[in-house]
Amino acid sequence: MELAIIGSYGHVGTVLNGLAKVDDVQLVAAARWGEDDPLGFVGGHEAAGDGLEVYDDYRMMLHEVRPELVGVFMPLYRNAEASIAAAEHGAHVICEKPLATTLADLSALAEAVAVAGVKINALLEMRGHPPYLAIRDAVAAGRIGEPMLAYGQKSYPFGRRDDYYKSRETYGGSILWAAIHALDFVSYCTGKGYARVAAAQSNVAHPTHPGMEDCGGILLDLAGGGHAMVSFDYLRPWSDGVERRWGDERLRIVGTEGLVQLGDDGLRVELTTPTDVEQLPLSDERDIFAEFVASVRGEGEGLITTEQSVRITEVAIKARDAADTGRAVVL
């Protein structure tokens, strides 16, 4: 199968690195999202040599190359635009999250994918990280009883941010870029969807980027009973050369018969029951791109499905809208 990549924003390296884990998939072309896109991976990554065909117009690339697979890594407000074009050319799509920044764009994308009969996967690769797999397996095995309460966290340094983060219209909001990970891994690990959401958010420390909320919280009702809370921020202390993880992720799930949680180092998983406290073994990591390719070939469902990708994007957009309006939103 042939793969083409549109843009270079975000975690394009996840797809490039995943190419080494699949057979018979070749990166054949790449297109800039605009004149400011350096496409730095071309010639700078072993999967993308200097001879890779590069286009300035991604629509021309899609028309001329007709790839079976497309990776979309646009400035966030343009992800839906490029993904729709790829689907209309018959390509299966793996796309940086969020898939869209408005409900109208998300609806148009879902329709385009359905009409074309192709798959789209949101790049929510944390599902494949060993600690989250261990937590999900423990919950699914009934080791904490019925999950009733969950807490998820995404915390990042502010770092250096592109200009388009400054505007809500081009960025889409921090719930869509950062908190969506926690919204997804809470649902994935509890095995429960969401029924209602309320949220609050603000920019307290970075007035140069008014469209980029740097702290906030989301309160959700879990489908079938229980609640979840997600916090997100860009306030993690940082300086160049510091030795700590870039992101600080947390997950804690409390059930009727126990609790399971991710250690503060982001690696250990601890299970507490009425009689014991134990550290759970971790399995190998699952690669989201490799499983996307396998699902296209009909070899399994993949790490995330089209329906799950669209749904979690919808939840994130409605959570952002709930924060904007100050009103709870039924999901």
Task: Pinpoint the residues of the chain covered by CATH 3.40.50.720.
Answer: 2-122
Statement: residue 204 has pLDDT above 80: yes
In the chain, pLDDT over 70 holds for what percent of residues?
Answer: 99
Statement: residue 195 has pLDDT above 70: yes
Residue 211 and residue 158: Cα distance in Å, rounded? 13
Locus of tokens 């975690």: 11
243-279 per-position pLDDT tens digit: 888 999 999 999 999 999 998 888 899 999 999 999 9
Superfamily covering domain 129-286: Dihydrodipicolinate Reductase; domain 2 (3.30.360.10)
Cβ neighbours of residue 148 closer than 8 Å, sequence gap 6 or more: 222, 225, 226, 227, 254, 255, 256
| pLDDT value, residue 47 | 72
Within 10 angstroms of residue 91's Cβ, the number of other Cβ atoms is 27
Residue of 135, 82, 111 lying closest to 252 (CA atoms)? 135
Residue 170 and residue 147: Cα distance in Å, rounded? 37
Residue of 87, 107, 83 lying closest to 95 (CA atoms)? 83
Within 10 angstroms of residue 22's Cβ, the number of other Cβ atoms is 17
62-112 per-position pLDDT tens digit: 999 999 999 999 999 999 999 999 999 999 999 999 999 999 999 999 999
Q: What are phi and psi of 140, to 5 degrees?
A: -65, -30
What is the CATH code for 2-122? 3.40.50.720
| pLDDT value, residue 50 | 67
Statement: residue 196 has pLDDT above 80: yes
What is the H or E stretch that residue 136 is in? Answer: helix 130-140
What is the mean predicted confidence (pLDDT) over 312-324? 98
If pLDDT is split at 50, 70 and 90, which confidence band does 49 have?
Answer: low
Q: pLDDT averaged over the chain? A: 95
Residue 317 and residue 101: Cα distance in Å, rounded? 7
Task: Pinpoint the residues of the chain covered by CATH 3.30.360.10.
Answer: 129-286
Statement: residue 43 has pLDDT above 80: no
What is the H or E stretch that residue 122 is in? Answer: strand 120-122
Give the CA diameter of the chain.
Answer: 63
What is the mean predicted confidence (pLDDT) over 125-133? 97
